[in-house]
Structure formats: C-alpha cells, structure tokens
Amino acid sequence: DVKVTQSSRYLVKRTGEKVFLECVQDMDHENMFWYRQDPGLGLRLIYFSYDVKMKEKGDIPEGYSVSREKKERFSLILESASTNQTSMYLCASSLKQGAGNSPLHFGNGTRLTVT
Amino acid sequence: TQLLEQSPQFLSIQEGENLTVYCNSSSVFSSLQWYRQEPGEGPVLLVTVVTGGEVKKLKRLTFQFGDARKDSSLHITAAQPGDTGLYLCAGAAILVTGGGNKLTFGTGTQLKVEL
C-alpha cells in the first residue's frame, strides 16, 4: 500500500513564525500536492510538484512556498504564519499518468492553529 | 479556477434509507473521482469515472458521470452507519506540464447514518 506520511498531526504556532510542514511518500510517485481543507470549501490546491525541484502554483499559493529536493519529500513552508492560515493541511501523491485518472493518495493531515 | 458544487452539504439519515449526492460544475472534466474521508484521516478514493454517461457500482454505491462530463452523482442504497463520512467529488484536468492529473475538489457532503 502507498503510504504518505505527514510529520505532525497537530501544530500550534504564533503569528509571524516560519512554519514547515513535511510530507514523505514511499511509492516513488512523481506528483506531489499540498491542499488545505476548510469546512464548506472542500480541498483547495496550494502547490504541486511533478518532478524533483519542480513546482507549480495551485489555486491559493499566496503566503506559501514549497520545496522538493528529493522525489519522496515535499515540504510546505509558511514564511510568516497568519491566523487565516489556521486550517487542516493535506499532502498527497500520485503517479504521473497522462489520462488524468491516477488517484491521489493522501496523508492523514496536519491540523495547524496559528494564534 | 474550475468550481465544483456539491449538494447537499449535510445529510443525516436513518439506517436503511437511500440518498443521492450531487456534484455540479460548469466546466468539463477529463474524468471525475469520488473520495470518502473519515475523521482524522485523509480522503480515500472510491471510484473514477471517465466516459460521459458512465455508471459504476461499488456494492451499495452507484456513481454516474454526466453525459457532458460536467456533473456526477453518488447514490447510496440502504445506507449503513459505516457509510458515515465526508464525501468529496474531484474533477480532473490534465496538467499542462509534466503529465498526471490536477484535481479540483468539490465542497463536500457530510453524511451521517444513524441506527
């Protein structure tokens, strides 16, 4: 089974802090994604990466950056955390397929609270 | 940004009842996926539909993709408490660069099935 591991289940940070969310997958997937999940809004894509050192902005990249130095690891960075970034963050990975049918495999999420 | 609206947002029913969840968009998708998410876990793929008009069955769950590939429905027959969870639809668009899929998630339907 594919395993996507997020380093923290819960995080509490202060406004202005730099925050790192780490994600590791063990199935040699090319694509990796960061989503945030908020009630009534579903999952919104922050950034994705389809190869090492490659990154693309998703729908809500403002206030975030990412790093993918190794294929299995995709990090989400909040340069200066703000209270409106309090959310559940989900990392996912998938195979690189052209048909658009490859499923996403998700981690269990990191619930971040910014005070 | 492509948008996917799900309805209803919340649904609380008794065991044995039938229900339908709708997923609608004004955009065309190459395929559509349905996920279920349980508390404390990431979403897990239930099914992928690819062809307009396609119907897929997964035990008591029936998924349909609209003829124009803009909408989908999930019908559950004789719901059970184990069906409780957050149901998410996700429309796939082929990544412009790198291949693979970029998913746009719906707003989610929280289902509770009581004894």
Q: Is A53 on the interface with B (CB under 8 A)?
A: no
| Beta partners for residue A94, in sequence order | A31
User: Contact B43/B30 with Cβ under 8 angstroms?
Assistant: no
The minimal CB distance from B100 to the residues A4, A97, A109 is found for A97
The minimal CB distance from A90 to the residues B9, B42, B97 is found for B42
The tens digit of pLDDT for each residue in B22-35 reads 999 988 888 899 99
The minimal CB distance from A101 to the residues B9, B31, B95 is found for B31
Closest CA–CA distance from residue B28 to any residue of chain A (Å): 13
Report CB contact under 8 Å: B100, A54.
Answer: no
Distance CA B96, CA B101 (A): 9
Tally the residues of chain A: 115
Report CB contact under 8 Å: A48, B102.
Answer: yes
Token pair for A8 = 């923290």
Share of chain B above pLDDT 90, in %: 76
Q: Is A1 on the interface with B (CB under 8 A)?
A: no
The tens digit of pLDDT for each residue in B57-71 reads 999 999 999 999 999
User: Contact A8/A91 with Cβ under 8 angstroms?
Assistant: no
The minimal CB distance from A42 to the residues B45, B88, B99 is found for B88
Structural domains of chain B ordered from first start: 5-114 (2.60.40.10)
Q: Which residues of B touch A104 (CB under 8 A)?
A: 33, 35, 43, 45, 90, 101, 103
Structural domains of chain A ordered from first start: 4-96+107-114 (2.60.40.10)
**Is the pLDDT confidence value at A99 over 50?**
no
**Is the pLDDT confidence value at B86 over 80?**
yes
Q: How many CB atoms lie within 10 A of CB A31?
A: 24
Report CB contact under 8 Å: B40, A98.
Answer: no
Report CB contact under 8 Å: A98, B41.
Answer: no
How close are the terminal C-alpha atoms of chain A, in Å? 37
Share of chain B above pLDDT 70, in %: 91
**Is the pLDDT confidence value at A111 over 90?**
yes
Report CB contact under 8 Å: A101, B102.
Answer: no
